[in-house]
Amino acid sequence: MMRGTADKVTLEDRIAYAQAGDQTTQNSLLKTYQPFIAKCVAEVCKRYIDPRRDDEFSIGLFAFNEAILSYSPDRGSSFLSFAKLVIKRKVIDYIRYMQKRPAAVSLDESFDEEKMENPTEIAAVLEKYEQQQDARHRKEEISEFKQKLKAYKLTMNDLVESSPKHRDARDSAVRTARVLYNDPNLREYVYNKKKLPIKDLLKIVNVSKKTLERNRKFILAIFIILDEDYRYLQDYLKGVGK
């Protein structure tokens, strides 16, 4: 594989080498960015992460490797931004999985009835903790969404003002966004131009030009949600515009 001089090789170049099967570069990336991975994991767990002891770090490491292999610069975000999102989502999934698992009891432990707590109280505490975690992760997701909107020169206020008021109109706008996202050529246009390909859309959706222009901001916002791993925001789209 042809390469430039070492000082000209960018991170994106190294990602491309790894995706092409360069195992040495892939391993080097995994080793070099361990501090970055630990920091991303710590932001989710809200505590110091020891790479040698914490299972969450291993999840983050696997997620970073997944990000290396799946990253595409055409998505419009830097690799590290993309990797951070993948790491956080995987760690959140892991935490949720662990919370839902029945607590494992070590065979070496002796039972102390005085230390045993009321199962109802335990369930209530876990439920409250999960609600707090959901609220925090939802807040982080919205914050990331706001940053993504900026690339399209949009704000949350724009969405509030431009969101279709009637259910039928909203469903139609979401359907249009799905058509837009599922078409590779149109999707590429949005990535590059950060705007709707209205002329091309008019050829494949049963919507007037006036309606497309009126709902432009809302459709772009839905496009972004479909393109990113926004779990909470995508919940909003379930059953909408199908």
User: What is the domain class of 9-101 according to CATH?
Assistant: mainly alpha
Query: What is d(CA 171, CA 225) in angstroms, rounded to the nearest whole number?
Result: 15
Where would I find the H helices in the chain?
11-19, 23-32, 34-45, 55-70, 79-100, 119-151, 156-162, 167-182, 184-193, 198-202, 209-214, 216-227, 231-237
Q: Is the CB of residue 174 less than 8 Å from the CB of residue 241?
A: yes
What does the pLDDT look like over 37-87, one tens digit per residue?
999 999 888 888 888 888 899 899 999 999 999 998 877 778 999 899 899
Q: Where are the domains of the chain?
A: 9-101, 156-237
The pTM (predicted TM-score) of the whole model is 0.52
What does the pLDDT look like over 156-197, one tens digit per residue?
888 888 888 888 888 999 999 999 999 999 999 999 999 999
Q: Which amino acid does the sequence have at 107?
A: L
